[in-house]
Structure 1
Amino acid sequence: MNKNKILYNSQNVYDLIKDNTEIIETDNNVIFTPSAMDIIKSKGIKIVYKKDIADNCGCSCVKDDSTEIVKQTIKILVNKLNITDEKIIKKVITEVLNRVNL
């Protein structure tokens, strides 16, 4: 784990926010101050910690050829359906990959 943390506050959080940003994907090395979180929430943006969801999914089936399918499935579940429960995400990803024979 990288010990160098990145801190976003109310002044530099706009570096992450682009036009029509709906989601900010980040990892555990990023820290948001409460004021930065207020700005993010006020714009209706969700934060997804990639390592938390993708790595903790527990899917042993994640391979190079299926990585994009997993990423897009997680994105749909989190952004469109507001599903963040890791157990549900794991079940859905497993089912999707089984159905596309990966």
Structure 2
Amino acid sequence: MNKNKIVYNTQNIHELINCNSDTIYVPSNVIFTPSAMDIIRSKRIKIVYGDENCNCSSNDIADKNNDTAEIVKQTIKILVNKCNITDEKIIKNVIVEVLKRINS
């Protein structure tokens, strides 16, 4: 198990919110700064740690958001667990690039 902690700040939260506005999927070793938690609470965003599954809705918009969230979740999992990448800037950049290429 990876004991290294990843710190998410307000910038990370804003970028993750752009990916999926209802739920944020993060590895189990993520720690949020207090200001990041304020944003999460104010927007009523659910945080899903580790391997928890999301509840998928039947409408297309929810399905698309869940697909995007799953992509983000799996990308983070691969970067952290398989590649041992814990630098939040690198993780953020990889996620942004993956989503750009998928959506283009």
TM-score between both structures, scaled by the size of structure 2: 0.44
Asked which structure has the greater CA Rg, the reply is 1
More helix by share: 2
